[in-house]
Amino acid sequence: MPIADISALLKELPAEHFDLPHVSELRTHAFKVPLPGPVIDKLNPAVETHHLHVRIACIGDSITACGYPKYLQELFDRAEIKVQVRNFGVCGATAQRFADQPYWDERRLEEARQWRPHFVVSTLGSNDAKEGNWDRKSFVKDYADLGVEFLERLAPRPEVFFVTPPPVYQDGAFDISQEIANGELSKAVEEAAVAAARRLNDPIEAQAKRARQSVPAELLVRTGVIDAFTMLGGDKLRRRNYIDEDGVHLNERGTKLLATTVFADVRRVVSRCLRRMADAASVVPEDPLGL
């Protein structure tokens, strides 16, 4: 039976006629398989998980600042997934340190780090594609460094998603080169995502290899790439009606599509994170008073 049906059935059972066993005694069938976690949480009064929320920090340029995090929050709320989304976008920001407006110099970066997010979604890159800013090698290095700024945190250690920026529909708009934005930029973002993870994982894996041991998954950092570039038209510019008249920014329809794209990519890992948090909260220490 699906979890939703089980939950609905339990709500309909009148308490005065049914004496349910303790959650630890419940099994799904004769093979003694435990009930799914979401059902256990609903049944077990000793485990309070209503206060647990996953924090998602959205960093980036005007693509972020103009509002997709608001729609992303609405999608999580509609799915009843306990998430807090915050917008740390800065219009005009770049990933490169020595460009015209580095995100590195913005107060919002430190605010995002201090918020201690579980996940980071970054949409930088469009302003780096200006003729006067673009240096692919520097972009990959600096963007990877920015990811490491979050990945090296341990409590919690976040997962960072690099979003490939939407295509530019008008060459030269806001001084952005259409050739760079629709050609090199997406691959450079992917390279930065890989480089950020390798920066921290390679030393750990090398040490484990010398010791002939495997590396526990929880010790490795994780990055991902969300392909908004293709979703919003790609180099063929197939979705002009999702882009504002200026040829760069998203209109409301495009902003909602970006939020849906991010939601589809992160929903599963966010749900797993909540599950781990709930499991950790349900563990009672042998000596809770520390005696």
Examine residue 266 and state whether it is found in any structural domain, yes or no: yes
Report the number of distinct structural domains present in the chain. Answer: 1
Order across the sheet with 54-60: list the strands.
Answer: 83-89, 54-60, 119-122, 159-163, 223-226
Examine residue 191 and state whether it is found in any structural domain, yes or no: yes
- Here the CATH number for the domain that contains residue 270 is 3.40.50.1110
Task: State residue 187's pLDDT score.
Answer: 97
Examine residue 35 and state whether it is found in any structural domain, yes or no: no
DSSP string, 3-29: HHHHHHHHHHS-TTT--PPPGGG-BSS
Report the greatest alpha carbon distance in the chain.
75
| 127: nearest Cα among 162, 163, 91 | 91
Would you give the DSSP letter of residue 242? G
Residue 234, Cβ density class (10 Å: 0-12 exposed, 13-18 middle, ≥19 buried) = middle
Task: State residue 39's pLDDT score.
Answer: 59
Distance between CA atoms of 270 and 263, rounded to whole angstroms?
10
* Contact present, 71 and 102 (Cβ < 8 Å): no
Task: State residue 234's pLDDT score.
Answer: 92
Cβ contacts of 99 within 8 Å, gap of 6 or more: 127, 128, 130, 133
- The residue behind tokens 């673009």 is 134
Examine residue 21 and state whether it is found in any structural domain, yes or no: no
Cβ contacts of 160 within 8 Å, gap of 6 or more: 119, 120, 122, 147, 150, 151, 193, 196, 222, 223, 224
Examine residue 45 and state whether it is found in any structural domain, yes or no: no
pLDDT digits (tens, 9 = 90+) for 93-121: 999 999 999 999 999 999 999 999 999 99
Examine residue 19 and state whether it is found in any structural domain, yes or no: no
Distance between CA atoms of 67 and 87, rounded to whole angstroms?
8
Checking DSSP bridges between strand 119-122 and strand 223-226, what pairing results, if any?
Answer: unpaired
Which residues lie across from 121 on neighbouring strands?
Answer: 58, 161
Examine residue 41 and state whether it is found in any structural domain, yes or no: no
- Would you call 224 helix, strand, or coil by DSSP? strand
Q: What share of the chain is helix, strand, coil (3-state, %, to 5)?
A: 50, 10, 40
Examine residue 117 and state whether it is found in any structural domain, yes or no: yes
Q: What is the mean pLDDT of each run of 10 residues along the chain (291 residues)?
A: 65 62 51 58 51 92 93 94 95 94 95 95 96 94 96 88 96 94 96 96 90 86 96 93 94 96 95 86 57 51
Task: State residue 40's pLDDT score.
Answer: 55
Task: State residue 18's pLDDT score.
Answer: 56
First to last CA, the chain: 44
pTM of the model: 0.80
Cα three-residue angle 124-271-267, rounded to 5 degrees = 40
Task: State residue 270's pLDDT score.
Answer: 94
> What domain range is 242 assigned to?
56-278
Distance between CA atoms of 225 and 186, rounded to whole angstroms?
10
Read off the tokens for 27. 């099994």
Q: Is the dihedral of CA 233, 237, 240, 246 positive or negative?
A: positive
